[in-house]
């Protein structure tokens, strides 16, 4: 069981979208303080929220934040970057930027905040993956989320000794700025945050937020062709080939 009451929380990418929903829900569940990071300053009207400028690709900035936010007991690695092109045609510089944000960013945060969490009793780390972690044809974004899933599984084992609980989160399309142009059924960010915090408090190690995530994970036990997908009439169809679809 993970206690949120009275906790101090760090949410990367916490100034908008799903990150902002996490900030709101943590406070609703009794967190004492939340550091909400973003690449640009964000005004806040709640004294329990401290807006912090952070680029998770910056080694020095992440290390500096870990020294400053030494009271953190729960970390949510939410900051991410989208990429929409096929990986075979994507400039390598773009692929590197996606991985630097979506994989090495959370890893930087984990490495720098692991000692902070240990000093504060262990606490918890929550990493936001995607249903596309398990999907074929999701470009650099899907590949980066697959890599983050693997990193999370490694962190779960490596941080267990210091008492840090690690929760991996998988979800399909969610109603944020990143998916605003897509005509597809989307999760409500507030409900996602509620479901994740429920799983966190229950001590779960993985949460599949929606049916899309559950179906993709189930498909992992079958042939790799079953991991292809497309969007048809606003619904994600798993096991369908769509070589001209690159909306990730």
pLDDT tens, residue by residue, 198-222: 999 999 999 999 988 998 899 999 9
Q: Look at residue 3 and tell me if it is in a domain.
A: no
Q: What is the CATH number of the domain that holds 51?
A: 3.40.50.720
* CA pair distance 240, 20, nearest whole angstrom: 34
pLDDT at 35 over 80: yes
Q: Transcribe 22-61 into DSSP letters.
A: HHHHHHHTT-SEEEEEESS------TTEEEEE--TT-HHH
Task: Report which of residues 34 and 248 the model is more confident about.
Answer: 34
Going 162 to 205 to 96 to 12, the CA torsion angle's sign is negative
In a domain, 133, yes or no: yes
Q: What is the mean pLDDT of residues 2-18?
A: 96
Q: Is the pLDDT of residue 166 over 90?
A: yes
Question: Sheet holding 49-53: strands in order across?
Answer: 49-53, 33-38, 8-11, 74-77, 124-128, 165-170, 206-208
Lowest mean pLDDT among 36-40, 58-62, 66-70: 36-40
Give 226's pLDDT tier (boundaries 50, 70, 90): confident
- Say yes or no to pLDDT of 134 above 50: yes
Average pLDDT, integer, range 50-73: 98
Ramachandran bin of 6, using left for φ above 0, alpha for ψ from -120 to 50, beta for the remaining angles:
left
**Tokens 């905040």 sit on residue:** 113
Domain span at 123: 8-238
What does the alpha-carbon distance between residue 210 and residue 191 come to, in Å, rounded to a whole number?
A: 11
At how many degrees (to 10) do helices 92-99 and 139-159 cross? 30
What confidence tens digit (pLDDT) does each residue in 75-98 have? 999 999 988 789 999 999 999 999
Q: Is residue 2 part of a domain?
A: no
**Residue 27 in domain:** yes
* Count of domains forming the chain: 1
């Amino acid at each position: 069981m993970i206690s949120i009451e009275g906790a101090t929380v760090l949410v990367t990418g916490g100034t908008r979208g799903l990150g902002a929903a996490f900030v709101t829900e943590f406070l609703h569940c009794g967190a004492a303080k939340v550091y909400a990071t973003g690449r640009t300053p964000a005004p806040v009207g709640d004294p329990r929220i401290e807006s912090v400028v952070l680029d998770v690709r910056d080694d020095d900035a992440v290390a500096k934040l870990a020294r400053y936010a030494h009271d953190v007991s729960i970390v949510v690695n939410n900051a991410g970057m989208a990429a929409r092109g096929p990986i075979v045609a994507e400039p390598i510089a773009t692929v590197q930027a996606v991985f630097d944000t979506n994989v090495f960013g959370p890893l930087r945060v984990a490495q720098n905040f692991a000692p902070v969490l240990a000093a504060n009793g262990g606490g918890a780390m929550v990493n936001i993956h995607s249903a596309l972690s398990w999907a074929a044809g999701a470009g650099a974004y899907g590949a980066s989320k697959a890599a983050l899933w693997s990193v999370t599984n490694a962190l779960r084992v490596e941080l267990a000794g210091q008492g840090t609980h690690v929760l991996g989160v998988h979800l399909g399309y969610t109603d944020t700025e990143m998916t605003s142009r897509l005509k597809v059924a989307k999760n409500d960010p507030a409900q996602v945050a509620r479901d994740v915090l429920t799983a966190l408090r229950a001590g779960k190690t993985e949460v599949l937020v929606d049916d899309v995530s559950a179906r993709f994970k189930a498909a992992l036990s079958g042939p790799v062709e079953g991991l292809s997908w497309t969007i048809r009439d606003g619904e994600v169809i798993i096991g369908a080939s769509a070589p001209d679809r690159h909306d990730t």
